[in-house]
């Protein structure tokens, strides 16, 4: 008898945590190694921010941001330098990671209208052979039945230093103590919002990457995956 595979049978690994914890890089490495799909859910909130800024929608206008998120015409592609994202046919890739977009996206993400508009889009990424999803609420809200849940943290100081290095490499000069303050503010907003706050799922494995290299974290994720597979 041939058994059909429902979306819920497709394995998911979730990697949640604050900005700068390394979750994006770790998720990419794990997905590449397994040959699974990748969902960078933060990019969706960043897209809402970019589109809102272009349309002069304010960061505190929840209903307007929700409508915008629900009607977003987004296209993800791959270019010579990695992911290419377009909104309404316009390439916005280079703008996604700016500090202004980081701050706006964190404000927009606090509105239930915005979060609700993005749920279906995120769950639709669950495709065979598997999905690695990174964000803030992947293990708690979007994929509560994930096979393996990781909560990746690092001290705010370490995260600010990593971000500072990244921006310097891109030729942007940003003050380190200002970055540290921005990271603390974003953490506080992400952790204290009423809907889908940044919190570890009760069944998540905690990894503190403050003193670890990306290679060490990736290796630990694979060890945990091996253990969780054994339990199936
Ligand atoms: O992960 P990243 O820094 O790209 O996310 C940008 C912002 O989007 C975060 O500050 C957070 O407020 C929001 N976000 C969220 N839920 C997710 C992913 C990101 O609220 N699953």
3-state secondary structure at position 15: strand
Query: What tens-digit pLDDT sequence spans the chain (232 residues)?
Result: 455 567 788 999 999 999 889 999 999 999 999 999 999 999 999 999 999 999 999 999 999 999 999 998 888 877 777 778 888 888 999 999 888 998 999 999 999 999 999 999 999 999 999 999 999 999 999 999 999 999 999 999 999 999 899 888 888 788 999 999 999 998 998 899 888 899 999 999 999 999 999 999 999 999 999 998 755 5
Question: 216 C-alpha vs ligand 1 centroid, how far in Å?
Answer: 24
3-state secondary structure at position 175: coil
pLDDT for the residue numbered 1: 46
pLDDT for the residue numbered 5: 63
pLDDT for the residue numbered 78: 75
pLDDT for the residue numbered 8: 80
Query: DSSP assignment of 82-151, as one string?
Result: EEEEEETTEE-GGGTTSHHHHHHHHHHTT-HHHHHHHHHHHHTT--TT-EEEEESSIIIII-TT-SEEEE
Element (H, E) at 66: helix 62-70
pLDDT for the residue numbered 92: 93
Nearest CA owner, ligand 1 atom 12: 106
Beta bridge partners of 40: 134
Q: Residue 84 — φ and ψ, nearest 5°?
A: -120, 125
% helix, strand, coil for the chain, step of 5? 50, 15, 35
Nearest CA owner, ligand 1 atom 5: 42
Q: Positive or negative CA dihedral for 111, 89, 138, 119?
A: positive
Pocket of ligand 1 (CB under 6 A): 19, 41-42, 45-46, 105-106, 109, 135-137, 186, 190
pLDDT for the residue numbered 11: 95
pLDDT for the residue numbered 68: 96
Nearest CA owner, ligand 1 atom 4: 42
Strand order in the sheet with 205-208: 37-40, 131-135, 12-16, 148-153, 205-208
pLDDT for the residue numbered 203: 96
Measured at the alpha carbon of residue 116, what is the angle toward residues 115 and 121, in degrees to the nearest 5?
A: 90
3-state secondary structure at position 160: helix
How far apart CA 189 and CA 151 sit, in angstroms, is 18
**How many residues would you count in the chain?**
232
Cis peptide before 129 (omega within 30 of 0): yes
Nearest CA owner, ligand 1 atom 11: 106
Strand order in the sheet with 74-79: 74-79, 82-87, 90-91
Task: Give the mutation target among 17, 136, 152 for probing the ligand 1 site: most ligand atoms within 8 A of CB.
Answer: 136
């Amino acid at each position: 008898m041939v058994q059909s595979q429902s979306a819920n049978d497709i394995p998911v690994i979730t990697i949640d945590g604050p900005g700068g914890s390394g979750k994006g890089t770790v998720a990419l490495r794990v997905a590449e190694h397994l040959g699974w799909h990748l969902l960078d859910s933060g990019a969706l909130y960043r897209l809402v921010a970019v589109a809102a800024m272009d349309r002069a929608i304010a960061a505190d206008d929840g209903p307007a941001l929700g409508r915008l998120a629900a009607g977003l015409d987004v296209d993800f592609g791959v270019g010579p330098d990695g992911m290419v994202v377009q909104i309404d046919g316009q390439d916005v890739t280079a703008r996604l990671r700016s500090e202004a977009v980081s701050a706006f996206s964190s404000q927009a993400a606090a509105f239930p209208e915005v979060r609700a508009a993005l749920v279906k889009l995120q769950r639709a990424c669950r495709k065979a052979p598997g999905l690695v999803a990174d964000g803030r609420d992947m293990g708690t809200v979007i994929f509560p039945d994930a096979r393996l849940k990781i909560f990746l943290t690092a001290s705010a100081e370490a995260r600010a230093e990593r971000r500072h290095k990244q921006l310097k490499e891109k030729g942007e000069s940003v003050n380190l103590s200002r970055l540290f303050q921005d990271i603390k503010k974003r953490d506080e907003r992400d952790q204290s919002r009423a809907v889908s706050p940044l919190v570890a799922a009760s069944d998540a494995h905690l990894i503190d990457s403050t003193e670890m290299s990306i290679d060490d974290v990736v290796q630990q994720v694979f060890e945990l995956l091996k253990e969780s597979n054994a339990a199936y």
